[in-house]
Structure 1
Amino acid sequence: MSRRPAALLAATTLVLLAGCATTIPTTVGPAATDPVCADVVLSTPDELSGLARTDTNAQATTAWGQPEAAIILRCGVQPLGPTTDRCVTVESADGTSIDWVVTQGDTDSNEGDATFTTYGRVPAVEVLVPASVRKEHSTSMLIDLGPAIAKTQKQRSCL
């Protein structure tokens, strides 16, 4: 085989493989253009709860896992006001403390989808965890996100 057809075959193979890459569809938050969101997303781990990072189609977002079962992080979502929803403080090994409000799902039985939204931080960050992931992985993944989320400004705390 001459060099030209071999190079063409290699280029075609790369294009076809690139077309197989998965992208997780999600929506952009209203404050996604906040420069802090770029720092947050770039500081998140390449792997979360054993799931590899996956591309998303929206600014200030990232995901881990497969399209049908992915953990999705969205920065720049609407900050939460006072709430009666469950608010928990998660502390990382480095001492970073992040408050999260659980707005969906049954946290005790790990059934149903769960949404964790930072409380008292600007810009606000949301982590969506589908039921299928919650059945296999604990929400201790929030500990691993602490250093990235700490790049946001803390204004209030859970009581």
Structure 2
Amino acid sequence: MLTAALVATLSGCTAIVPMEPADDANNPGCADVIVRLPDSVGGLDRRETNAQATGAWGSPASVLLYCGVEVPSASTTRCIEVDGVFWLVDGDDEPRYILTSYGREPAIDVVVDTEVVGATPVLIDLQRAVSFTTPNGHECTDLDDADVIDSSGR
């Protein structure tokens, strides 16, 4: 009976998501983010990863987070603001989007498969954790052309 219960328990486990850490994954600011990552984003459950300063959600993993990526400098890439956090949006590999935090250090990449989940709900759910990174003074320069998303309804 115990063996059957153990097999049933283990078969319900999901595999660890293999990931590579970003170059600056050892940045202490990444630890502040990782310990605050939510259990779910966009309705997808969090998964265990095998790399420092990373996060994954969904089965199969449809949202990946890498803390400690290269801090972006001034850019002409589309920029959005979600609950006070700026994000550069790379949709070159649509429907997979790479969203890079902008104006904060350490920088974070969030990779979203938009065939599974929308990028906006994911960024809203990650906002609290990402807000623990340090602002570096950079902002989206033309907010008149940027998408500004405020989940509080203000």
Matches within 5 A, 1:18-37: 20-37=13-30
Question: Among 98, 101, 104, which residue is 2:88 paired with?
Answer: 101
Matches within 5 A, 1:1-150: 9=3, 13=6, 17=10, 20-67=13-60, 69-91=61-83, 97-105=84-92, 111-134=94-117, 137-150=118-131
Query: What is the CA distance between 1:139 and its match in structure 2?
Result: 2.1
Ranges in structure 1 where 5+ consecutive residues have no aligned partner: 1-5, 92-96
Aligned length in residues: 140
Letter in 1 for 2:108: V
Separation in 2 of the partners of 1:148 and 1:47? 12
Aligned to 2:148: none
| Preserved CA contact (<8 Å) 1:45 1:144 | yes
Query: What is the CA distance between 1:105 and its match in structure 2?
Result: 4.4
- What SS is found at the alignment partner of 1:140? helix
Separation in 2 of the partners of 1:63 and 1:45? 10
- What SS is found at the alignment partner of 2:81? strand
| Preserved CA contact (<8 Å) 2:33 2:133 | yes
Identity %: 40
Q: Go from structure 1 to structure 2 and tell me whether the alpha carbon gap of 1:65 and 1:81 turns closer, same or farther (over 3 Å shift).
A: same
Taking structure 1 as the reference length, what is the TM-score of the superposition? 0.77
Letter in 2 for 1:145: L
Q: Go from structure 1 to structure 2 and tell me whether the alpha carbon gap of 1:19 and 1:146 turns closer, same or farther (over 3 Å shift).
A: closer
Alignment RMSD (CA, Å): 2.4
Looking at CA atoms only, which structure, 1 or 2, has the larger radius of gyration?
Answer: 1
Query: What is the CA distance between 1:42 and its match in structure 2?
Result: 1.3
Ranges in structure 2 where 5+ consecutive residues have no aligned partner: 142-154
